[in-house]
């Protein structure tokens, strides 16, 4: 169940963090979400070329960016919650095929494959709907009991930690990846999930965030 809250919740004793919505958020993003009391900003104007609609997985030769296309409007000032997904191009099929190519030989791809495939068969109307479905599924797969909290209005000034413009880059302890001998840090949570499986939650909770 989602819970919508406003800025008043930032007065809680724990440090609250304001995050953007994310498409398969990076490892650092997911660590913030698990380690802190977080609000997801859904009333901001959409920011192009950001984690809101794209993620990076590790391909055979280099990191590969997956981007969710949006319905373009005459005005660029569209709130994230109102941003519709464009299905003119078969991006769902392409994203799923890219994930299979990148992670089919990983230890946990077959373990999670049947759970994740429906995300690329059903059509969410909005980017926020898709990202929320993904986040719920990730929590479910890792047996994480945590609610998602969304803003009810745009937070012009946030009293605690505002990470809406943060790049979510941090030093990540290495783990075994499918491709390459040199570790590539802080990719999409998919990379950690397929390579570390149930251990992903512990990794995220223990990750040092600067």
Taking only the tens place, the pLDDT of each residue in 141-181 is 999 999 999 999 998 889 889 999 888 877 899 999 998 77
The per-residue pLDDT for 75 is 55
Q: How far apart are CA 101 and CA 104, in angstroms?
A: 6
Write out the residue range of the structural domain in which residue 141 sits: 3-206
The per-residue pLDDT for 76 is 64
What is the four-CA torsion angle of 34, 19, 99, 186, rounded to 10 degrees? Answer: -70
Q: How far apart are CA 210 and CA 160, in angstroms?
A: 15
Question: Please, are residues 128 and 21 in contact by the beta-carbon 8 Å criterion?
Answer: yes
192-208 pLDDT, tens digit per residue, is 999 999 999 999 999 99
Q: In this structure, what token pair is assigned to residue 181?
A: 């001998």
Q: How far apart are CA 6 and CA 18, in angstroms?
A: 11
Which residue is it, tokens 């800025």?
7
What is this structure's pTM? 0.90
Angle at 29 between CA 119 and CA 157, to 5 degrees: 115
Number of structural domains found in the chain: 1
pLDDT mean values, one per 10 residues, the chain (210 residues): 36 71 97 96 93 95 94 77 96 98 97 98 97 98 96 90 87 90 92 98 93
Q: In angstroms, how far is the first alpha carbon of the chain from the final one? A: 30
Q: How far apart are CA 60 and CA 103, in angstroms?
A: 10
The per-residue pLDDT for 4 is 37
Q: In this structure, what token pair is assigned to residue 143?
A: 């047996």
The per-residue pLDDT for 166 is 87
Name the DSSP letter for residue 198: G
Q: Where are the alpha helices (DSSP H) in the chain?
A: 27-35, 91-103, 109-116, 127-141, 189-196, 200-206
The per-residue pLDDT for 119 is 98
Q: How far apart are CA 173 and CA 17, in angstroms?
A: 23
């Amino acid at each position: 169940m989602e819970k919508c809250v406003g800025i008043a919740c930032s007065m809680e004793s724990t440090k609250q963090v304001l995050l953007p919505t994310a498409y398969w958020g990076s490892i650092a993003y997911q660590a913030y979400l698990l380690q802190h009391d977080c609000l997801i900003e859904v009333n901001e104007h959409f920011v192009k070329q950001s984690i809101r609609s794209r993620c990076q997985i590790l391909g055979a030769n280099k990191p590969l960016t997956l981007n969710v296309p949006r319905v373009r409007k005459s005005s660029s000032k569209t709130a994230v919650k109102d941003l519709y997904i464009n299905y003119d191009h078969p991006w769902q099929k392409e994203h799923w095929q890219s994930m299979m190519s990148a992670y089919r030989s990983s230890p946990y791809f077959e373990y999670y494959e049947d759970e994740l495939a429906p995300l690329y068969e059903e059509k969410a109307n909005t980017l926020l709907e898709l990202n929320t479905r993904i986040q719920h599924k990730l929590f479910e797969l890792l047996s994480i009991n945590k609610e998602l909290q969304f803003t009810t209005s745009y937070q012009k000034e946030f009293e605690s930690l505002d990470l809406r413009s943060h790049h979510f880059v941090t030093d990540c302890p290495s783990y075994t990846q499918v491709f390459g001998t040199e570790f590539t840090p802080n990719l999409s949570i998919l990379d950690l999930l397929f390579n570390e499986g149930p251990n992903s939650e512990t990794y995220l909770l223990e990750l040092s965030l600067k």
